[in-house]
Amino acid sequence: MNKVKFIYNPYSGENTIISNIDKVIMIHQKYGYEIVPFRISFEFDIKKAFEDIDETYKYILIAGGDGTVDNVVNCMKRLNIDMPIAILPVGTANDFAKFIGMPQNIKKACQQIVNSVPKKLDLGKVNDKYFINVASTGLFTDVSQKTDVNLKNTMGKLAYYVKGLE
């Protein structure tokens, strides 16, 4: 059986992935994949998600927003893991997922993933940090990184504006 490492951020967006985990597993099982989950938390370094990665894994499934995708990609590069990623857009903005045409609906996104062929995309690097979507500095980055998760879950994208005005 082919494995998929499922790295999910339970705090992304409005905790959407929590009520959809069974859908993710069900669809992947239907296509012969075994889901191996890793829940992102402050207790465990993201590197732990990759400790069991071997040739039986076909791709990394990331459920979260742009920040989650960024963290996972950077960890993969630090660990020299070169494997396809798939994204379930469950964050607040999901800019990259929108750019690549991922549906917001979890079931539709999973169907699209399991029926797709991996495509190569550019990966940028500034100093020691990789990025797949946006490289930014200054106020934009500061606001994005310092906006409270609870505020984003309550207000959505509006939370960024509130933090910016602050």
Domain annotation for the chain: domains and CATH numbers: 2-131 (3.40.50.10330)
- What pLDDT is stored for residue 165 in this prediction? 59
Radius of gyration of the chain (CA): 16
Q: How far is CA 67 from the centre of its chain?
A: 7
Question: What distance in Å separates the CA atoms of residue 159 and residue 28, rounded to the nearest whole number?
Answer: 34
CB neighbours of residue 77 within 10 Å: 15
Neighbour-count burial of 67, counting CB atoms closer than 10 A to its CB (0-12 exposed, 13-18 middle, 19+ buried): middle
Low-confidence ranges of the chain (pLDDT < 70): 134-166
Mark 100-128 as b/e (b = at least 16 C-beta within 10 Å): eebeeebeebbeebbeeeeeeeeeeeeee
- What pLDDT is stored for residue 100 in this prediction? 87
Question: What distance in Å separates the CA atoms of residue 130 and residue 71, rounded to the nearest whole number?
Answer: 9
The model carries a pTM of 0.81
- What pLDDT is stored for residue 163 in this prediction? 57
- What pLDDT is stored for residue 162 in this prediction? 63
- What pLDDT is stored for residue 15 in this prediction? 86
CB 68 within 8 A of CB 11: no
